[in-house]
Amino acid sequence: MRTTSAILAAAVALGACASSQAGSDTTEIIASGAIQYDGTFRPIQQSDGRLGMTTVQRIYGNVRVLYRESTGRSQITLSLNTNSAASEVLSWAIVPGRCGSGGVPVMPAAQFPPLELSNNGRGDLKVDDVPIVLPQGTYHVNVYRGGDNLTNVIACSNLVAKAG
């Protein structure tokens, strides 16, 4: 009887470990002392080439960056919806400061994986192992169309940190 109780207790303990392992990557990373940055995209006014004319696209989406200090690497999930009816490839970058600050990205925009939008204007991207260091601070994500200058930003998201 005592052996059966010991085996049952071991099985319960193993089941508890397995169920905690089955949790999301986010929970595991946050628990390990990582910093999670979350943000929501907002559209940026752009000039359409005519004197004084600007347009605002309907753009919305989310971004999450999980920075693991122990490895100096980050996991990035980005989702964007636009009113564009054509597929296109957009560039993006993480930049110190708040939206519109004009800072230099933490690494060149060309080194971030491109965001591909389908012909319904939606794009999703998940990159598990980006070699960028993002210590606790203020950051934002710019999404660019046609170049990586501040004038090419079509959407921006201020990132809000949540330390684990």
What pLDDT shows up at residue 39?
Answer: 97
Q: H-type helices in the chain, by residue range?
A: 2-21, 25-31
What pLDDT shows up at residue 24?
Answer: 40
**pTM score of the predicted model:** 0.74
What pLDDT shows up at residue 135?
Answer: 84
Q: Do 68 and 51 touch, CB atoms closer than 8 A?
A: no
What pLDDT shows up at residue 74?
Answer: 92
What pLDDT shows up at residue 85?
Answer: 79
What pLDDT shows up at residue 42?
Answer: 92
- The residues of the chain scoring below 50 in pLDDT are 1-31, 47-48, 50
pLDDT in tens, 74-120: 999 999 999 887 899 999 999 999 999 888 999 999 999 999 999 99
The helix (H) or strand (E) run that includes residue 122 is strand 122-130
What pLDDT shows up at residue 7?
Answer: 36
Interatomic CA distance for residues 39 and 25, integer angstroms = 18
Q: What are phi and psi of 29, to 5 degrees?
A: -70, -45
CA dihedral 139, 27, 131, 105 (to 10 degrees): -10
